[in-house]
Amino acid sequence: MDERTKQMLGFLEKVTLSPQEVNANDITPLRTAGLTDKAIEEALYVCALFNLMDRLADAFDFPLMENDEYQKSARALFSLGYGSGSIPG
């Protein structure tokens, strides 16, 4: 995993688990790693949607996928990119 991805995943983990601790200083390492503000914004959108889906799934007791299904989905998202499903604009 490259440094940009590590930095972004660490930031998204903090946003998810400790949102009250997130501040503008958390963006600096992302920019230093070469991430643009647009990339950071897109990652935050994806994170927010996954967090929302997780909460809805918990509330409505949605059935969970098996681990191999998660792995297949992760590989598809990684190879195609989250942007492939984005709405232009």
Tokens linked to 25: 């200083």
- Per-residue pLDDT, averaged over 4-29, amounts to 96
Query: Does residue 89 belong to any structural domain of this protein?
Result: no
Residue 53 lies in a domain: yes
Tell me how many domains the chain contains.
1
Task: Please determine, for residue 66, whether its predicted confidence score (pLDDT) is greater than 70.
Answer: yes
CATH of the domain at 56: 1.20.1290.10
CB 49 within 8 A of CB 19: no
* 60 found inside a domain: yes
Q: Is residue 24 part of a domain?
A: yes
Find tokens 């946003």 and name the residue.
15
pLDDT in tens, 35-57: 999 999 999 999 999 999 999 99
Query: Which pLDDT value is given to residue 63?
Result: 86
- Domain coverage including residue 10: 3-83
Q: What is the pTM of this model?
A: 0.69
